[in-house]
Structure formats: structure tokens, C-alpha cells
Amino acid sequence: MTAAKSERLLNLLIMLLVSTRLVPKSRIREILYADASDEAFEKMFDRDKEELRSLGVPVEVGQIDAYFDDEPGYRVKPDEFALPEVDLTADEAAVVGLATRVWDHQRMARATTEAVRKLTAAGADIDLGALDIAQPRLPADEPAFDVFFEAILERSAVEFDYRRSGSDSTTRRRLQPWGVTRYSGRWYVVGHDLDRDAERVFRLSRVQGEAVKVGPPGAYAIPEGTDVSAVTRRLAPALSTEPVVLLVRTGAALPLRRAADRTEPGVPGPDGTEGWDRLTLLRASVGIADEVLGLSGAVVVESPERLRDEVVGRLRGVLAGEGPVGDR
């Protein structure tokens, strides 16, 4: 059954591919669907065309005769069907092989593997076992990733439920996605929010439930020159401009030591001993207070005053029961 259908699909493709002009529907029926009733033919032919299209075959439809529009015709133009010549040198082929191992995401990894098979079929010799050490990995664990990625390629709007940071409830959003960007291990989508009528950024991990494409493909144009890396830069937390000076217990707080621009070892600490080092960070991230608090007991802020006050204030908040009630 499968083999018979595969034969029919392939023969249909060949027929449309070798013809220099539109092939009349009646001729297609006569050659490939001779045994089918009218109704069965219509159904089968429609489905077969769609299956070829879903494989990426550009099936073109037109009127055979401009004056009598009673009979449609079909064809596949060879130069639209076939992969253009991609001549890869040996070192280029090796790089292509490496690219298949970058995506840590089933759908995208499969797409690169499929691309490499096509390039191989076109004559390239791609070594998939080439050894490379500094191999980047691109995970995309957010379930909504596939839908947004496809929607960007197709220019389809997407509808989804979104939960803002710190919020309890979700809201229904409609977005024309322009691009995706990865920052600090998370994927974000940028696009035109149809309800707010403005550019918006959404974190894919906060999309709740299933995101769905709505409306036809090609529904909008992405503004010329859109560059999502500008959005990525906006997402990056600003760095403090004042230097941060910390006292750190000897041997502790390796991450802060790595980030330090200056280290003065063996200085007297707040406990009166000399088992402390003074670190200076010329540009610290705005998350420095969280980091210092996480290393409580081993790190004390000397300056700036503002950071010292924040850390002290938050520790007092714990003792004063300012947070959630929890165990108190």
C-alpha cells in the first residue's frame, strides 16, 4: 500500500518536473489515476499535491488556456525544486559537519541532519565524526520554541497565554513574531504585539500551555533591518559604574574572585583577624547584591554605600519578617 502510494507520488513529481509547460489535470488523471472514480481522483490528487508541497516541492498551478479557464494545469520548475550548486571545499565540509552538533534540540538538530544529507546527496563529502573541542551548544528547552521559530519563518501571528514575572495570572497575547534571541540561557521572542500595538519582548519559558499559530502565513512583513541583537543588549543587566570593594574570607567566594580586577590579600577583616582579602570590581553586574547575599558570612561590602545598605537592609528584612510569613 505504502509502496504503491510512494510510486504514485514520485511519478506525479517526475511528470510535473520534466514537463516544460503546465500539465493538464485530465492528462495527470489519465496517466496516474486511471482506475479512480471522479470523486476518488479529486480527493487523491488533492492530497498528493499537498503531500508533495509539504515536502518542499514547489507545485505550481495555472490555467492552461487564458481564454477558457476550464482546466487547470500543474508543473514543478526544476530550478525551484532542486538545491542549487553548493560547492564545498574539504575544510568547509568539515565545518558543516560540526554545525550538525550545535543544536541541543531535537527538531532543529534533525533539520541540520536533513540539510547535511541533502548536501551529501549533491556530492559533498561531509565528515560527521570530525573532532572539535570548543563546540558551542544551543539548547532550546522551552516547549514554545518550535512554534515561534516556524511562525517567524512563515510570518504567521501566534496566540499564547503569558505569565509576567512575579504575576500569578496569565493573559492571552497575540504577537507577530519578528525574531528570537538567546540571553543568559533563555530564549526570548521579539515582535509586534497586536493588542498593545507596539514592539514587545516575551520570555519563552513564561509562555503557559500551548502557543498556536493563527491566521495565514505571510500575514505581515518584518520591518526592514530588524536586528534582535539590539534587544539582547537591552536584556543584559546594566553594569554598575562605581567600583565595588568587598572583603572576602581567604579561600572563599571563587566566582567573585574571578570577576575581581584587583585583589589585596591578607587584610584585617570585620572579625579582627587577617584571614581576609580585599577585592575591587571595577564594573559589577546589578545582580551583585544577590551574589553577595548568597555568599553571606564570607563576604562584606565596604563600598559603595548604596550596595552596603541594600545588603544590610535585606538581611534585616529576614530578621524582621518582612518577607513571606513561612515559618514565622
Alpha-helical (H) ranges within 155-295 are: 228-235, 254-259, 288-294
Least distance in angstroms from the C-beta of 305 to other proteins: 9
Among 71, 80, 195, 199, binds other proteins (CB under 8 A): 80
- Our CB check for other proteins shows the closer of 23 and 173 to be 23
Among 175, 284, 295, 307, binds other proteins (CB under 8 A): 295
Per CB under 8 A, contacts with other proteins among 37-66 are 51-52, 54-58
Among 35, 39, 69, 168, binds other proteins (CB under 8 A): 168
237: buried, middle or exposed (CB in 10 Å: 19+, 13-18, 0-12)?
exposed
Continuous segment of H or E residues that includes residue 248:
strand 244-249
Least distance in angstroms from the C-beta of 40 to other proteins: 16
> Would you count residue 291 as binding other proteins (CB under 8 A)?
yes
In the block, cell 534571541 appears at 181
Least distance in angstroms from the C-beta of 171 to other proteins: 15
Least distance in angstroms from the C-beta of 67 to other proteins: 26
Among 83, 130, 212, 267, binds other proteins (CB under 8 A): 83
Per CB under 8 A, contacts with other proteins among 197-226 are 205-206, 218, 222, 225-226
- Our CB check for other proteins shows the closer of 173 and 187 to be 187
Residues in binding contact with other proteins, number by CB under 8 A: 132
Among 36, 115, 201, 214, binds other proteins (CB under 8 A): 115
**Distance (Å, rounded) from C-alpha 279 to C-alpha 258?**
10
| Nearest by Cα to 206 from 234, 241, 168 | 168
**Distance (Å, rounded) from C-alpha 67 to C-alpha 191?**
45
Residue 182 pairs in a beta bridge with 187
- Our CB check for other proteins shows the closer of 173 and 191 to be 191
61-69, 237-245, 278-286, 289-297 -> range binding other proteins (CB under 8 A): 289-297
Residue 189 pairs in a beta bridge with 180, 202
Q: 284, 239 in Cβ contact below 8 A?
A: yes
Question: What DSSP string runs through 192-203?
Answer: EETTTTEEEEEE
Least distance in angstroms from the C-beta of 38 to other proteins: 21
Continuous segment of H or E residues that includes residue 179:
strand 170-183
Q: 272, 232 in Cβ contact below 8 A?
A: no
Among 66, 198, 238, 325, binds other proteins (CB under 8 A): 325
Per CB under 8 A, contacts with other proteins among 250-279 are 251-255, 258, 269-271
Q: Is 320 helix (H, G, I), strand (E, B) or coil?
A: coil
